[in-house]
Structure 1
Amino acid sequence: MLTINVAVLLAVIVIVRLRRRTQARSRNDEKLKVLIVLVFGVLVAPTAFGQGVLDVVGQLAAGINDAGR
């Protein structure tokens, strides 16, 4: 039996959609892309990978904040 992880499937969809040409995108196409990326983020956030990304982004934001002082 073949099982597909939904987060992996959404990651593939996001990559394919980002590779498309940028000139002929409609507003609905952009809204759909944002929705797909948000759902992907919700699915990945509770995983170890998602927590690692959160830590890296938090450290980067703290570094930028400290540099601005």
Structure 2
Amino acid sequence: MLTINVGVLLVVIVLFRLRRRTESRSRLDEKFTVAIVLALGVLIAPTPVGQGILNFLGQLASGVTQSVH
């Protein structure tokens, strides 16, 4: 039996959609891409990988705000 991780499938779809030329996208196409990326974010967020990304982005934002002040 073949099983497919939905998160991995969404990553592949996002990568293929982002490789296309920007000029040829309609607004509906852009909205669909945003919806797919949001769904991917919801799937990744509770995982250890998602928590690592969140921690990294938090540290990056903290470093940027400290360097500005």
TM-score (norm 2): 0.98
What's the CA shift for 1:38? Answer: 0.2
User: Which residue of the partner structure matches residue 13 of structure 1?
Assistant: 13
CA-based RMSD: 0.4
> Can you give the 5+ residue segments of structure 1 that lack an aligned partner in the other structure?
none
What's the CA shift for 1:42? Answer: 0.2
How far apart in 1 are the matches of 2:9 and 2:24? Answer: 24
> Can you give the 5+ residue segments of structure 2 that lack an aligned partner in the other structure?
none
How far apart in 2 are the matches of 1:32 and 1:23? Answer: 16
- What pairs with 1:1-69 in structure 2 (closer than 5 Å)? 1-69=1-69
Give structure 1 regions of 4+ aligned residues with deviation exceeding 3 angstroms: none
Percent of aligned positions that are identical:
62
State the aligned residue count: 69
What's the CA shift for 1:3? Answer: 0.4
What amino acid is aligned across from residue 37 of structure 1 in structure 2?
V
How far apart in 1 are the matches of 2:25 and 2:15? Answer: 16
Name the structure where helix makes up a greater proportion of residues.
2
